[in-house]
Structure 1
Amino acid sequence: MRNFIKEFGLPRFIILLFILALFIIGGFIGVNLTDAFINVINRFGMNAVFVLAMIPMIQSGCGLNFGLPVGLIGGMLGATISIQLQLQGFAGVVFALFVGMVFGAIFGFLYSLILNKVKGDEMIVATYVGFSFIAFMNIMWVILPFTNSEMVMGYEGKGLRTTISLQNYWDKAISKILGFQVTSDAELGTKTLVPIGMFIVFALFAYLVYLYFKTKKGSAITAVGSNPRYAKAAGIDVNKHRTISVILSCALGAAGMVIYEQAYGFVQLYNAPQFFAFPSVAAILLGGASINKANVKNVIIGTLLFQAILTMTPIVINQVIKVDISEVLRLIISNGLIVYALTRKEVK
């Protein structure tokens, strides 16, 4: 047990015990544990690729990608173009993924040019770049020439709506792959989808990231992050490999946005990307990563713990006090975990 706790990490072990305690307490006070568990794994599938997108930049020494919205906007563009073309089902979501990742890679390249000029201050600058790009795109969403009546605002048909439904396009097109319905409430006959497709897609992306960092280029990125002076002396182009890492991170972020959107059932524009970077950073740090070393295991552990505590705590407390304060609690818990993750000194 001591070896397990040492390997797993004491803070993560305590959080795991707390989550188990919430499930046990929930069972005694009438919480629907089946529904709660499916909610946790749904949230894992929806958010895991965002957390995975942190790995390339951490490994290259660019630090935590607080500029993740740069990549997410690529995914949003892919989604809106797919809807504009009225593509449906699996073909529609695959098109959105491909186009989104292309835009994410392009934006990532431009983003990397800035980061390579501010070595040592990447995380601070990245935050401002992300917020600035969101503000710029808020203008672009209004003036881009989209014409689909389900997307545009008002009678003039100009500017995109804040929220666009995917019901007639590719709502849950990935989640439904090999997915199955589980009865979450026998009395009401409520059924919930178990999104096997999302887990398959995440596993595919995670495996590709794992394989990439076993290649010569992936090892070079890790060398740049570990010791840039040694890497340069060994003939490795430091800026080039940092650029590759930023492009990969933003392309993964774009893919994560499309996966999230198809699971959520809506495309949210304008300021929506602001709410993804910090929880993703917190999750990977909670999983045991540091600001210069991360792997797929950190992504899986961190995302599960973060989403489980974010889901279960409001459910249990709401059931006890009979008042819905879930949004307030989620805000407190989310920001609390972010503060913990960003200030902890443990390095693994």
Structure 2
Amino acid sequence: MSERLKSIYDNIGLPRLIIVGFFLTILAAAAPLGLNVSSLMGDAIRRWAMYGILVLAMVPAVQSGIGLNFGISLGIVAGLLGATLAIELGIGNPWLSILFAMLVGLFIGSVFGIGYGMLLNKVKGSEMTVSTYVGFSVIAFMNMIWLSLPYKSGELIWPLGGQGMRTTISLESSFGGVFNNFMAFTIGDPVTGLSIPTGLILFFLLTCFLVGVFMKSKLGMAMSAAGSNPAFTKSSGINVDKMRILGTAVSTALASIGIITYAQSYGFLQLYNAPLMMGFHSVAAVLIGGASINKAKISHVIIGAFLFQGILAVALPVANKVLPEGNLSDVIRIIISNGIILYALSKTKGGSK
């Protein structure tokens, strides 16, 4: 029995146990501080599902051998372009609007991903460094693009002759909350009870299922083989470089879906520098879920996304109660989130493979 417990302990790891313990501690502290635990858990569940697909985008990238994809900003940009185009065209039906946004985002994200994968094939061994640079650079480049796109919709551009796109764009009149509101219900009191965004959860889990099916397909297994043992895969007649490009394209395309899912839940599109750290958050989440730079599974995504977003959802209200004066609560939130990122990145041991 002791050997079995030791095996479980070794598989989970002390750092992950500490993170789980920290989450349970701050959650337990919420009730004595007068906070609504049901509301906090509902927020944690919502954040888990709305951010989960961005974390899921790490799986094909890691499995194909390019490692942790800090360059998912390319996919995020593709999703934002699809969403803004849907608003510009004034598609009235929210379901048609989000479907159009996702299809456009998938197409642009796949094209970006193919080009990005070709770049990574030329810098083998330095993928993480290059992907980090690409992730930051594309956001900086898009800051100029958002100022020059020829959109005319008053929902997108600054009013009274202002130049460029708004920093924050409301989705209330387009596809805001379409997944969250679908089959949603509340456990307990309608106001203070536990809210379950059923549609959002189902869409996240469906996407996880589809990615899982792809990873178990002949093509997905070839892609994983190319990542785990390139020499053997090449000797078997499989083009390793093409498999790496496939993994990058799927990862980037998933990120485009992920940002649209995130935005519809949040209720707004955030442009310019707002998505800058999303790649780091996604990397940190999948790592604390149990992934490594060489292996990532759907279970790592589900566990890691919940731990990372759950801590952020609960920590800030608790900090507001403990330190109600000034901006210390927000500072603590930043310290906590960056601390999780630092722990997660330390698991990479500085390598790219």
Shorter-normalised TM range? over 0.9
Alignment of 1:326 onto 2:329: yes
CA distance in structure 2 between the aligned counterparts of 1:256 and 1:24, rounded to whole angstroms: 31
Give the unaligned 5+ runs of structure 2: none
- Which of 40, 46, 50 aligns to 1:42? It is 46
Map 1:89-108 → 2, pairs under 5 A: 89-108=94-113
For residue 164 of structure 1, give the secondary structure of its aligned residue in structure 2. Answer: strand
> Is the CA contact (8 Å cut-off) linking 2:186 and 2:196 kept in structure 1?
yes
Question: What's 2:85 paired with?
Answer: 81
CA distance in structure 2 between the aligned counterparts of 1:271 and 1:90, rounded to whole angstroms: 28
Question: What's 1:25 paired with?
Answer: 29
TM-score (normalised: structure 1): 0.93
- Counterpart residue identity of residue 131, structure 2: A
CA apart distance, 1:207: 0.5
- Counterpart residue identity of residue 75, structure 1: G
Question: What's 2:213 paired with?
Answer: 211
CA apart distance, 1:8: 3.0
- Counterpart residue identity of residue 347, structure 2: R
- Counterpart residue identity of residue 121, structure 2: N
CA distance in structure 2 between the aligned counterparts of 1:228 and 1:2, rounded to whole angstroms: 34
> Number of residues paired by the alignment?
343
CA distance in structure 1 between the aligned counterparts of 2:216 and 2:50, rounded to whole angstroms: 26
> Is the CA contact (8 Å cut-off) linking 1:25 and 1:316 kept in structure 2?
yes
- Counterpart residue identity of residue 148, structure 1: S
CA distance in structure 2 between the aligned counterparts of 1:176 and 1:269, rounded to whole angstroms: 24
Map 1:254-269 → 2, pairs under 5 A: 254-269=256-271
Q: Which is further off, 139-148 or 238-247? A: 139-148
Question: What's 1:295 paired with?
Answer: 297
CA distance in structure 2 between the aligned counterparts of 1:14 and 1:229, rounded to whole angstroms: 38
Alignment of 1:194 onto 2:196: yes
Question: What's 1:234 paired with?
Answer: 236
CA distance in structure 2 between the aligned counterparts of 1:271 and 1:148, rounded to whole angstroms: 22
CA apart distance, 1:17: 2.1
CA distance in structure 1 between the aligned counterparts of 2:343 and 2:317, rounded to whole angstroms: 22
Question: What's 1:153 paired with?
Answer: 158
CA distance in structure 1 between the aligned counterparts of 2:43 and 2:329, rounded to whole angstroms: 14
> Is the CA contact (8 Å cut-off) linking 1:147 and 1:157 kept in structure 2?
no
Question: What's 1:140 paired with?
Answer: 145
Question: What's 1:335 paired with?
Answer: 338
Question: What's 1:113 paired with?
Answer: 118
- Counterpart residue identity of residue 268, structure 1: Q
CA apart distance, 1:271: 1.3
CA apart distance, 1:234: 1.1
- Counterpart residue identity of residue 342, structure 1: L
TM-score (normalised: structure 2): 0.92
- Counterpart residue identity of residue 293, structure 2: I
CA distance in structure 2 between the aligned counterparts of 1:145 and 1:193, rounded to whole angstroms: 40
Question: What's 1:10 paired with?
Answer: 14
CA distance in structure 1 between the aligned counterparts of 2:211 and 2:13, rounded to whole angstroms: 24
Distance 1:140-1:322 versus aligned 2 partners, 3 A rule: closer
- Counterpart residue identity of residue 336, structure 1: G
% identical aligned pairs: 44
> Is the CA contact (8 Å cut-off) linking 1:69 and 1:274 kept in structure 2?
yes
CA distance in structure 2 between the aligned counterparts of 1:161 and 1:183, rounded to whole angstroms: 39
CA distance in structure 1 between the aligned counterparts of 2:32 and 2:192, rounded to whole angstroms: 21
- Counterpart residue identity of residue 47, structure 1: Y
Question: What's 1:164 paired with?
Answer: 169
CA apart distance, 1:177: 1.1
CA apart distance, 1:2: 4.2
CA apart distance, 1:180: 2.0
